[in-house]
Amino acid sequence: MSAAPPLYGLLAEFDRPEDLLAAAHRAHDEGYRRMDAYTPFPVEGLAEAIGFQRNRLPLLVLIGGIAGALVGFLTQYWAAVIDYPINVGGRPFNSWPSFIPVTFEVTILFAALTAVLGMLALNRLPMPYHPLFNAPRFALATRNRFFLCIEAADPRFDRDGTRRFLEGLTAREVTEVAH
Amino acid sequence: MELNGSGTSRPPHGEPPIIGPGYTYASVTDKISVFVLSGETPRGWFIGFALAFLLFMGLLYFVAYTVLVGLGVWGINVPIGWGFAIINFVWWIGIGHAGTLISAILLLLRQHWRTSINRFAEAMTLFAVSCAGLFPLLHMGRPWFAYWMLPYPNTMGIWPQTRSPLVWDVFAVSTYATVSLLFWYVGLIPDLGTLRDRAKSRLGQVGYGMLAMGWRGSAQHWHRYETAYLLLAGLATPLVISVHSVVSFDFATSLIPGWHTTIFPPYFVAGAIFSGFAMVLTLTIPIRTVFRLEDFITARHLRNMANIMLATGLIVGYGYLMEAFMAWYGGNRYEGDMLLNRLTGPYAPLFWSLLLCNILVPQLLWSERVKASVPALFVISIIVNIGMWLERFIIVVTSLHRDFLPSAWGMYSPTGVDWGLLIGSIGLFLSLLFLFIRFLPMISIFEMRTLLPTPEKAHAPLGPRAPSPAAGD
């Protein structure tokens, strides 16, 4: 690092999702790993292009659903069989078919909560401050522009070399993002 | 920002497009966010909101009156213990179902046309469920003990009876309300980010910024986001079917003639979707006209919704037919008498009006000319809303007012407080909708962007199968 102000990374702006996708592939081929792409809507294949592979959310949701099923059923079992058994017309205390609707609803509830909270947690949201918001044009990432940011933390990052690389792509503009 | 406001033109062949021609990522964003971000609020909004809020104040008055005086101010009596409260509850919760159908089931079925109506329909679900939840709470008579329905260790040493469908209802409806809220909020997050970045006022930037939770559209975030959204859709689909099934169990697991039938769950679910689509049409038709959204909510959307209404209406008709057939074929004289009482008894005029509203009038939707006429669709949708409310009235009242012993027969008529609560709940629903339209994007902006071709080709004619830059909207 030179004496220049601390840098978060270099941000390249593109007009079209196809250009960004191609640029992301090029950057990955070039050996860059600490980077991310920012788009106003989901672009298919982009996460894979920047080298994102493991999505643990489905597993978490499955675990959440199973936990919900267990909590739902066992709570009813505890109430109806152990803690407060009532003889209803001679039916068995563990009248499990009538426990299914509540078990089902609690399963869905837990799985849905895990899906949302899990997505937020894995995405590290809420995060009110992020260096990228320092870049004035980054506001367009939620409107009509597509961005690729190669972070200064990447071992292959070089202020001038990386800038030349990004400018060689079809970027409209390459800007520095302050930390 | 100039917009191409020309109407939708039907391409020479194939289905009409689901978005008007000439839009770009920027213009779609601006057109939808302008209602929220422009400083001035149209005068019509204030008038509409004032009227809705007046009705909502009426609701608060009648709720307070009911709680202070007691349930004796309602029309319910000994044979007819369920009255308006349960009728309104089933009606409202049914209306909510179309929102989940549009947002979850049509998403899983890859019906891209759902995009422009899904946010709005989800909001409708949420508000309808809020109205629905009010009625069983009040019907308990002492709503301040509502928490007794939840299983929690308490000093009384007792638990809710989870073998009862009424307790299933508590779980089904509260889960439904929670999941609908989550689904709606998750769908909003990227658009809240857009509003944060587009807002001019400090209040807007901070307010929408807090709600957007720092969303920045990262590719990794989108990846998990789409997974979460798809999983939520997959979870909401069986949920929505379970909710109205459980509501129907309240009736079907009893021994009352006319309720004790196995067709209730599927027929309630179909009826819910039927009435829900009617409500979506009732609401979207004025909104697309007032806000000039004809390019986003096109003739094709209205036509598709009319088709779903027609199809579910026919399922409901089949339900009525089977109910009557089983009452006769089952050979149970109480069921038979109940049917005869519906057809010819004191409430027969309501029964025949319900058949007119729910079965006869929707048959007009077979005609392409009717489906192309916006005023006709609006009128039919209102008729179906009324018809579905009448259906719940007939189910609740005709079965209860004459059951097994003539000595226990009675009649039901609602009081002014009953009507006040029904009309007031419509006020609550509309007030929430007016606030939603003003402060949140009523169409999903990021999903609309995925319907567009890439910028260079933005002016080329756009067919229904135009290449979409993203698959998983």
* A1 inside domain: no
Same domain assignment for residues A50 and A134: yes
**Domain match, A106 and A117 both:** yes
Chain centroid, CA B101 distance in Å:
9
Task: Check whether B472 has a pLDDT greater than 50.
Answer: no
Query: What pLDDT does B429 receive?
Result: 96
SS3 assignment, position B330: coil
Q: Are B472 and B230 in contact (CB under 8 A)?
A: yes
Specify the pLDDT at position B38.
79
Do A35 and A116 fall into the same domain?
no
Predicted confidence (pLDDT) at residue B462 exceeds the cutoff of 70: no
The residue with greater pLDDT, B458 or B450, is B450
Q: How confident is the model at residue A3 (pLDDT cuts 50, 70, 90)?
A: low
With an 8 Å Cβ cutoff, are B196 and A43 in contact?
no
Contact B19, B113 (CB under 8 A): no
Q: Nearest Cα to B454, choosing from B23, B4, B3, B116?
A: B23
Q: Is residue A73 domain-shared with residue A45, that is, in the same domain?
A: no
Q: What is the pLDDT of residue B231?
A: 94
Same domain, A79 and A166: no
Are the beta carbons of B242 and A118 separated by less than 8 Å? Answer: no
Chain B residues closer than 8 Å to A37 by CB? 218-219
Residue from A87, A102, A140 to probe the interface with B (highest B Cβ count within 10 Å): A102
Instruction: Kindly indicate the confidence band of residue B14, based on its pLDDT and cuts at 50, 70 and 90.
Output: low
Report the first-to-last Cα separation within chain A, whole angstroms: 13
| Cα-only R_g, chain A | 25
Name residue, tokens 């009448």: B390
The pLDDT of residue B450 is 85
User: So what's the pLDDT on residue B40?
Assistant: 77
- Encode pLDDT of B328-373 as tens digits: 998 889 999 999 999 999 999 999 999 999 999 999 999 999 999 9
Rounded to two decimals, what is the model's pTM?
A: 0.89
User: Running DSSP on this structure, what letter comes out for residue B78?
Assistant: S
Q: Tell me: the pLDDT tens digits for B373-389?
A: 999 999 999 999 999 99
- Owning domain of residue A169: 7-55+128-178
Query: What is the average pLDDT value for chain A, to the nearest integer?
Result: 89
Is A84 within 8 Å of chain B by CB?
A: yes
CB neighbourhood size of A34 (10 A) = 16
Report chain B residues whose CB lies below 8 A from the CB of A101: 165, 168, 171-172, 242, 246, 249
Give me B54's structure tokens: 């007046």
Domains annotated on chain B, with CATH: 25-146+162-446 (1.20.1630.10)
Does residue A2 fall inside a structural domain?
Answer: no
Asked if residue A159 belongs to a domain, the reply is yes
Distance from CA of A9 to the nearest CA of B (A): 15
Q: What is the arithmetic mean of pLDDT over A58-72?
A: 96
Question: Structurally, how many domains does chain A consist of?
Answer: 2
What local confidence, expressed as pLDDT, does residue B16 receive? 66
Q: What is the mean pLDDT of chain B?
A: 87
As a whole number, mean pLDDT of residues A106-127 equals 94
Task: Please give the Cα distance from A158 to B375 (Å, whole number).
Answer: 64
Interface test with A, best of B175, B180, B250 (most A CBs within 10 A): B175
Chain B partners within 8 Å of A44 (Cβ) = 469-472
| Whether residue A103 sits in one domain with residue A92 | yes
What distance in Å separates the CA atoms of residue B150 and residue B160, rounded to the nearest whole number? Answer: 7
CB B92 within 8 A of CB B388: no
Q: List CB contacts (< 8 A) between B162 and chain A.
A: 76, 79-80, 98-99, 102
pLDDT tens-digit series, residues B96-138: 988 888 888 888 888 888 888 889 899 999 999 999 999 999 9
**Residue B188 in contact with residue B229, Cβ under 8 Å?**
no
DSSP character at residue A141:
G
Identify the residue whose tokens are 């509309």.
B430
Phi, psi values for residue B154, rounded to 5°: -135, 165
Please report residues of B whose CB lies closer than 8 A to that of A55.
223-224, 227
**ipTM of this predicted structure:** 0.92
Mean pLDDT (whole number) for B270-284: 92
